[in-house]
Chains A and B, each alone.
Chain A
Amino acid sequence: MIVPVSYYLVLGAILFSIGVTGVLLRRNAIMVFMSIELMLNAVNLSFVAMSRALDSLDGQVFVFFVMTVAAAEVAVGLALIVAIFRSLGSADVDDAHVLKG
């Protein structure tokens, strides 16, 4: 007996919502960033599950690409955080509101 795909999807939904809540709650840029990674991860899980359900490899390829993009994104994003930390002396996303136009 195999676990039905909807179980995975529900798990993905829960993880995604936790990620969203993290983004909304946390003020530390690093934590916000990790919450975003969590959301990506949740979506990846759903992709793989659907790849199985639909009998297609496209979902898995997509996950592969998401991971690469996420790696690039993390590199640039962390560099940005470091730069902001250096100029503002803080990694609090709310302190960056001085950037508003």
Chain B
Amino acid sequence: MSAQFVIFGLLAVTSVATALAMIFSRNAVHGVLFMVGNFAAVALLYVLLGSPFLAAVQILVYAGAIMVLFLFVVMLMGPEPAPLWEHIPGQRPLALLFGLLLAAGLIAAVNVEELTGVPGIMSQEVLERLGQPTALAQTLFERYLLPFEVTSLLLLIGMIGAVVLAKREKHELQAERAPREGGAE
């Protein structure tokens, strides 16, 4: 039992625990924080897999930028405790059942050769060779140059879309302000 196994085990338990805590947390702010922990654990797993670059991106983009954005929105909407009752009959037990079945099915699929290809022995040599950011950069800017550029376009569109969606029209603003000034709020 090498150190790697120990670290993997710790990270696996952490990520599963935070994930479960996230989906069962009553408070959205707690959920966001559990999610950050989960992302961190996964980032560490990337390191373990020999991809420090992706680990860094994961921390920066996910745990940093995206989760902060989530936190913003949660704060903007105010705390909204999840209701205890479920009004769609059978939704809760079915959701749990389907989740378990899916997990069972996917785990079963891992050992199916057609689905996974190679069952997987990773050599140190492969890790050394592929783990470097330069190798990734080379692939990205040579073979995947066009998709890379298209992705930048996609981000731009996403940005514009977010602005358009979140922007309030002037008359909307006025309509909202008027009752607020005289209202109980």
Check if B23 sits within 8 Å of A26, measured CB to CB. Answer: yes
> How far is A51 from B131 in the complex, measured between Cα atoms in Å?
10
Asked whether A71 and B65 contact (CB < 8 A) given A55-B130, A76-B161, A79-B161, the answer is yes
Interface centre among B20, B50, B66 (most CB of A within 10 A): B66
Check if B23 sits within 8 Å of A71, measured CB to CB. Answer: no
Asked whether A16 and B83 contact (CB < 8 A) given A6-B119, A34-B70, A64-B140, the answer is no
Out of B80, B88, B107, B143, which one reaches A28, CB within 8 Å?
B80
Check if A4 sits within 8 Å of B91, measured CB to CB. Answer: no
> How far is A72 from B42 in the complex, measured between Cα atoms in Å?
21
Query: Taking the complex as formed, is A83 at the interface, i.e. its CB lies under 8 A from any CB of chain B?
Result: yes
Q: Who on chain B is nearest to A9 by CB?
A: B110
Check if B19 sits within 8 Å of A75, measured CB to CB. Answer: no
Interface residues of B in 150-168 (CB under 8 A from A): 151, 154-155, 157-159, 161-166, 168
Q: How large is the interface on B (under 10, 10 to 19, 20 to 34, 35 or more residues)?
A: 35 or more
> How far is A18 from B20 in the complex, measured between Cα atoms in Å?
7
Chain B residues, CB < 8 A from A33: 70
> How far is A59 from B118 in the complex, measured between Cα atoms in Å?
14
Which secondary structure dominates where chain B touches chain A?
Answer: helix
Check if A58 sits within 8 Å of B66, measured CB to CB. Answer: no
Interface residues of A in 1-27 (CB under 8 A from B): 1-22, 24-27
Query: How far in angstroms is the closest Cβ of chain B from A96?
Result: 13
Chain A residues, CB < 8 A from B164: 79
Check if B157 sits within 8 Å of A55, measured CB to CB. Answer: no
Where the two chains meet, the residues of B that have a C-beta atom closer than 8 Å to any C-beta of A are: 1-2, 4-5, 8, 12, 15-16, 19-20, 22-23, 28, 31-32, 35, 38-39, 42, 45-46, 48-51, 54, 57-58, 61-62, 65-66, 69-70, 73-74, 76-77, 80, 82-83, 87-88, 91-92, 94-96, 98-100, 102-103, 106-107, 109-111, 116-124, 126-127, 130, 135-136, 139-140, 143-144, 147, 151, 154-155, 157-159, 161-166, 168
Apart from A44-B58, A68-B151, 5 more pairs, CB < 8 Å = A2-B123, A18-B20, A31-B82, A65-B147, A67-B61
Q: List 27 A-B contacts (CB under 8 A).
A: A2-B4, A3-B122, A4-B122, A5-B119, A14-B16, A15-B19, A21-B96, A26-B82, A30-B32, A30-B77, A31-B82, A34-B32, A35-B22, A41-B42, A45-B42, A50-B116, A52-B127, A53-B120, A61-B139, A61-B144, A64-B54, A64-B57, A64-B140, A65-B144, A79-B161, A82-B76, A90-B80
